[in-house]
Structure 1
């Protein structure tokens, strides 16, 4: 056991992973630089076997919900035989479809899918090495340039990313046969889980598209304040045609409950969603059978800070003092987060983050994350859906995406107009911009590096479908 000790906070968090006022620091011993609390278990817990119902499915509807079924070994064997027969029949039909004329599916090309931009629209990337040029949808050669390479490590001199992150999460790209790079193929049957790192004031918007348009079953924070989130068994509940596992991954005690109930082995969730990927790595994906594939969507840090203030005002209307807090006052208060991205990437919640931490954060993004951008959300969602095999270029899916994006852009405009009305100016060079920039000095470096990664990763994807 190392003699080194380090302060860690009590991991109570509020919505979107923001730090709560009640958090208290505590001393936790480390072993080889990894907190004991988050270390790998000495023995892998015996995992529950996936039960199969008589029809070969893993879940069965009961009263509007889906639950795991426990059946006898004989019936499981019978189900597997039926499933194998069904797979053979599907294979024969599929081969026939390939040779029949007219079997090629028609491709839906939407005529109204257009790039939308945020009302805030900050262009300050040149200060961080990102040279912005005219953006042209579908032509990455004319978009910005950061002068980086995917194989260019961002850390040196003995600095490394945490070993448990390297072991738990799969690299986004790998060397290709032609000497270049390619996306690491995602194999849904290999025990890998898509993991969406939820960033405040952007994550919930992407969640809506995943659960509504992709129709993915999410293990997220839907049952944060719901008694179903404390049940002693995992279930999938359908809430307004949206499917969620009854867990809360926004808080560490919720992650611990999900671990105790063997969420990863249950197979109930299509996607894990949490701001705490470090803790999820230790508690939910610590066994060799399961690994994670991380993806996220970034939003400009100043824009996120402004939206945080707007949300803060809306949530505290009952308190006249807080409801009247200006953006400048908010930026200088303890309610405003400081360098959230960098802190959560390198797992430093209370300690001072350094420029060395910034480089470490960049390296984690480079190796482990599929990057999306909020101000290019249409393109980002298509990449995410293609990467995980969810992409369906049909009219219903496109309309679903467009409707949700349009609604969020309307909220963005509302927030922007409110802040402009209160402050007069929130543009680059204004007083409030400077205050928020001070709070997000290191996050700005991380964000614009992520924008550069987005450009580089785009070269590994086929052209946009719209």
Structure 2
């Protein structure tokens, strides 16, 4: 009776019992099992135990398959990621080394052959400097490009920066960034600082350390700024690359006028890096005669010969080529004429209110440039400054021709 009850608990029919007995008998034999199917009791089926087991096995197989695929993917991705990181670090080290050694490298560079044509000269410099990161001025503008304002001191650059920020609402990376945005550490995350004089990203490309930070933080590549502003043309150009080019422009002024304006400005501008107390009681003639008074500033900064004792005609030829190939030129004395072609060239959108803002800034520009300058200028000083800046004067004459051509041809 007990046996019968036991059988009834597990088997609902004699057929199930018979199948189970046959299976048990076969399982006791030696040798491989072939296509043996268990007779699963109805009670277990109702409880769902067998089904749960099958699902669990399926899940295990799926997990195992997924893990194998993940391992295969990891075997590809991890080395590739390591290679990308290594490549980026090597690129940054190379650029950093370039910034530190640019002047010594320039000295090692062989002199450009006087008989080279203009195109050959520019190709030669592309091997030495990162000019492939600056778009040619006559090529169509692209969304991947970023404005690059090469700011020459005392040419009206501050007025143009105000136009860019307050009238056109463009985000700038400039020296003003360090004055307005809080930069506690070189590793600070980038952020946009909005002020009543415009929006700025917190990286300052006005000196070597700032340029390094802007480059490391990928300001250009990540499109954090609409315009990069720097006087250091050669160093700042290393922030750009062929896939993220600069759209370069500048404002130029008669070199002698610029030097005279610089002298009177630095007598009062205690906040400037170039300020010196010795200028306070100095005359313009004394300033012009000093050995450490800058000479041919524009040609030097375009070619990289900041400390070269004597500049040559080859340097001037190279500077003309760079200016002609890479820059849209504005002139201080003709800013009101050139501003409209400039806006069209850069594809900057401007409202009627913005245009009124622009011309208001231009009308105030002259006061900013020469507010402290006396009416009479010592002619002896003028002659000395002309001799010291003879290459810059020739470059400026070339710039005036470029300005006229660009004014006519811009569309």
TM range (shorter): 0.5 to 0.7
2:125 paired with 1:168: no
Shift in Å at residue 224 of structure 1? 3.5
Shift in Å at residue 211 of structure 1? 0.9
2:216 paired with 1:267: no
After TM superposition, the structure 1 = structure 2 runs for residues 296-375 of structure 1, keeping only pairs within 5 Å, are 296-315=250-269, 321-334=278-291, 336-351=293-308, 352-375=310-333
Q: Is the 8 A contact 1:195 1:271 kept in 2?
A: yes
* Counterparts in 2 of 1:230 and 1:154: CA distance versus 1, 3 Å: farther
* Counterparts in 2 of 1:158 and 1:238: CA distance versus 1, 3 Å: closer
SS in 1 for 2:177: coil
After TM superposition, the structure 1 = structure 2 runs for residues 60-459 of structure 1, keeping only pairs within 5 Å, are 154=118, 160-163=124-127, 164-173=129-138, 184-188=139-143, 191-202=144-155, 203-224=157-178, 228-231=182-185, 232-282=188-238, 284-286=239-241, 288-315=242-269, 321-334=278-291, 336-351=293-308, 352-392=310-350, 394=352, 396-412=353-369, 414-416=371-373, 418=374, 420=375, 424-426=376-378, 430-459=379-408
Shift in Å at residue 256 of structure 1? 0.3
Q: Is the 8 A contact 1:298 1:372 kept in 2?
A: yes
Aligned pairs, number: 302
Q: Is the 8 A contact 2:148 2:228 kept in 1?
A: yes
Q: Distance between the aligned counterparts of 1:319 and 1:360, measured in 2?
A: 32
Q: Distance between the aligned counterparts of 2:107 and 2:270, measured in 1?
A: 42
Give a deviation string over 1:232-256, Cα, whole Å, max 9, x none: 1111101224100111111011000
Q: Distance between the aligned counterparts of 1:236 and 1:309, measured in 2?
A: 34
Q: Distance between the aligned counterparts of 2:103 and 2:256, measured in 1?
A: 33
Shift in Å at residue 166 of structure 1? 3.9
Q: Distance between the aligned counterparts of 2:333 and 2:297, measured in 1?
A: 19
For structure 2, the 5+ residue unaligned runs are: 1-96, 111-116
Give a deviation string over 1:118-141, Cα, whole Å, max 9, x none: xxxxxxxxxxxxxxxxxxxxxxxx
Q: Distance between the aligned counterparts of 2:106 and 2:281, measured in 1?
A: 44
Q: Is the 8 A contact 1:161 1:364 kept in 2?
A: no
SS in 2 for 1:244: strand
Shift in Å at residue 160 of structure 1? 3.4
Root mean square deviation of aligned Cα: 3.1
Shift in Å at residue 449 of structure 1? 0.3
Give a deviation string over 1:398-417, Cα, whole Å, max 9, x none: 2211221122222345344x
SS in 2 for 1:265: coil
Shift in Å at residue 226 of structure 1? 6.2
Q: Is the 8 A contact 2:103 2:305 kept in 1?
A: no
* Counterparts in 2 of 1:393 and 1:227: CA distance versus 1, 3 Å: closer
SS in 2 for 1:172: coil
Higher relative contact order (CA 8 A, sep 6+): 1
The structure that is strand-richer by fraction is 1
SS in 2 for 1:272: strand
Shift in Å at residue 229 of structure 1? 2.8
Give a deviation string over 1:146-201, Cα, whole Å, max 9, x none: xxxxxxx646689833334442111111xxxxxxxxxx22122xx21111111111
The structure that is helix-richer by fraction is 2
Q: Distance between the aligned counterparts of 1:405 and 1:433, measured in 2?
A: 26
Give a deviation string over 1:5-53, Cα, whole Å, max 9, x none: xxx9997xxxxxxxxxxxxx9984689949xxxxxxxxxxxxxxxxxxx
* Counterparts in 2 of 1:214 and 1:319: CA distance versus 1, 3 Å: closer
Q: Is the 8 A contact 2:192 2:202 kept in 1?
A: yes
